[in-house]
Amino acid sequence: MTLAAYLRIWLASIRYSVVRTMMFRFDFFLWVIVDVAWMSVNLLLLEVLFNHTDSIAGWTKPEMMLLFGTSMLIMRMFIGLFFTNLFSVDRAVREGTFDFYLAQPGNPLFMISTRKVDLDGVFNTGLAAGIVIYAVRQMGLAPSAGTIALYAFMVLCGLVIHYATVVMLVSLSFWIVRMQGLEGGYFSIFDLSRLPRRALGRVLDVVFVYIIPATIVSNFPAEVFRSGINPTQTVWLALVAGAWLAAAATLFHLGLRRYSSASS
């Protein structure tokens, strides 16, 4: 299949998701409210913390808001586009309904990743972007178009790392019968992205920067506004995103070889 064909499939999935969401409007508005409340609580926590200190690991209040907003921007994008789809792999493999994706003409990983879009997550992506814009203004910055474009590119790299990490987690379903706690594992790992890298300490810095790139997905993009463009960080994040995605795709396709369909 061509790239244009895959794009048409994804657009069709988006249209289906919009129609489905409009059929269950209450669920949509409820989850939007829950996410807004959760973000508000975290911003309130920052407000309380900075009533007692001027900085956290060298980050001022507006800079911490920028880091929080960047972390939420990437996470809400991932939740809106891929979260529900990927975490359905466990049940599909266990029940044998994964055959549905194998029977389709496209790549199985693409087909299951883009089956539907959660519009509440997409909506809250806009709220997270608003937090980032507010924080940048509070810092007194007027970023250039190039700086904004680089920030957007690094956010996209962070999204790829989120996606690849969850693909690796759910790929274990091909080897393990039941994967309880996967969702909690994802949130536990990437909740650390809301913290400055320096706040982790030496051991956690090694684990969540060099082994599992959980903190750099938000720290590096935020540093673009906080400290200026850093070519080393840009290349580092891009290479990690590419390598992480390649590893995830490899593990997923190795798992496919072990899959026993419902008809076998």
**Confidence at residue 29, expressed as pLDDT on a 0 to 100 scale:** 84
Into how many domains does the chain fold?
1
Residue 264 lies in a domain: no
Q: Which domain holds residue 155?
A: 3-258
**Confidence at residue 251, expressed as pLDDT on a 0 to 100 scale:** 95
**Confidence at residue 167, expressed as pLDDT on a 0 to 100 scale:** 94
Residue 263 lies in a domain: no
pLDDT (tens digit, 9 = 90+) per residue, 139-157? 999 999 999 999 999 999 9
**Confidence at residue 76, expressed as pLDDT on a 0 to 100 scale:** 92
Residue 62 lies in a domain: yes
Residue 151 lies in a domain: yes
Residue 191 lies in a domain: yes
Residue 195 lies in a domain: yes
**Confidence at residue 263, expressed as pLDDT on a 0 to 100 scale:** 54
Residue 128 lies in a domain: yes
126: amino acid identity, one letter:
G
**Confidence at residue 261, expressed as pLDDT on a 0 to 100 scale:** 65
For residue 263, what is the DSSP state?
Answer: T
Residue 78 lies in a domain: yes
**Confidence at residue 237, expressed as pLDDT on a 0 to 100 scale:** 95
**Confidence at residue 221, expressed as pLDDT on a 0 to 100 scale:** 96
Angstrom distances, CA of residue 179 to CA of 172, 183, 245: 8, 9, 21
Considering only CA atoms, which of 187, 188, 170 is closest in space to residue 179? 170
pTM: 0.91
The ranges of the chain with pLDDT < 50 are none
pLDDT (tens digit, 9 = 90+) per residue, 222-235? 999 998 889 999 99
